[in-house]
Amino acid sequence: MKLLLIRHAQSENNVIEDRPDYAQARQPDPPLTAHGHASAQQFAQDADLGGVTHLYTSLMLRAVQTAAPIAARLSLPAHGIERAYEYGGLTTGPAGGFMPVTGGDHAGLSAHCPALIWPARLTGHPWDGGAEAWEESGFHARATHVLNDLRARHPGQDRVALVTHHDFAGALIRAALGWPATDTPPTFHLAHLGTALLDLPADGRVGGLEWLNR
């Protein structure tokens, strides 16, 4: 299987990261900015997505919104993966004591991406938001689970695309390369709408990174 990681487009939190009131102004599950929406549309139109056979997305709003034009261009459903979210999950952040926040439900997120397929385990329920302790061992375990799940679903020569997030994309890359979890892992910087291509052998052997930020 080839796994194409795609980082979401610019979100409303991204444009206020340097503001002194960021902790108070940030949103737990921010949407894309107008620029992010336009960039996602342009990416879907111009990116080399030839051969992609299956599309998956994180259930964070910014990822679902990014997946929408890609799904439309490819005429593919966008399968939600509840564990493909960004580090920490949905919380109130430092200003709110990092209290858990519930994510969207199928109806709400489908309004942003009509092609969204809801995880069967969550039928009739919203995504819980994935709030978690900030521990690399947990992030690594979650990334390994996502990779193993995709490998099980696609044991052949499928070319799979996953819309995800900066830090979690790095965890996926490290897990695919067989690197162990550490407290200070090497960082793979993935720009907004940057892509990384992983080659994942079906037998569970260590994979390879073919490109980063194409």
Residue 139, phi then psi, degrees to nearest 5: -65, -45
Q: How many CB atoms lie within 10 A of CB 152?
A: 10
Average pLDDT along the chain: 96
In the predicted model, what is the mean pLDDT of residues 209-213? Answer: 96
Q: What predicted TM-score, i.e. pTM, was given to this entire model?
A: 0.97
pLDDT digits (tens, 9 = 90+) for 36-56: 999 999 999 999 998 999 999
Cα gap 32→123, rounded to integer Å: 26
What was the pLDDT predicted at 200?
A: 94
Kind and range of the H or E run holding 197: strand 195-199
Q: Out of 54-68, 104-118, 162-176, 195-209, which region has the weakest mean confidence (pLDDT)?
A: 195-209
Burial class (CB in 10 A: 0-12, 13-18, 19+), 122: middle
Average pLDDT score over residue span 170-193: 94
Token pair, residue 14, equals 């991204």
**pLDDT at position 102:** 98
d(C-alpha 68, C-alpha 123), whole Å: 21
Predicted confidence at residue 37, as pLDDT, reads 98
Question: DSSP code of 61?
Answer: H
Count of CB atoms situated within 10 Å of the CB of 45: 11
Q: What share of the chain in percent tops pLDDT 90?
A: 93
pLDDT at 116 over 90: yes
Q: How many residues does the chain have?
A: 214
The reported pLDDT for the residue numbered 98 is 96
- A 10 A CB-CB count for 195 gives 20
Whether the CB-CB separation of 25 and 16 falls below 8 Å is answered with: yes
In the structure encoding, which two tokens stand for residue 157, read together?
């020569």
In this prediction, residue 205 carries a pLDDT of 82
| Residue 211, both tokens | 């490109």
From the list 132, 161, 178, 145, the residue with the least C-alpha distance to 55 is 161
Give me the pLDDT at residue 192, please. 98
Residue that the structure tokens 């979100």 belong to: 11
The pLDDT of residue 64 is: 99
- Calpha distance 119→81 (Å, rounded): 7
pLDDT greater than 90 at residue 148: yes
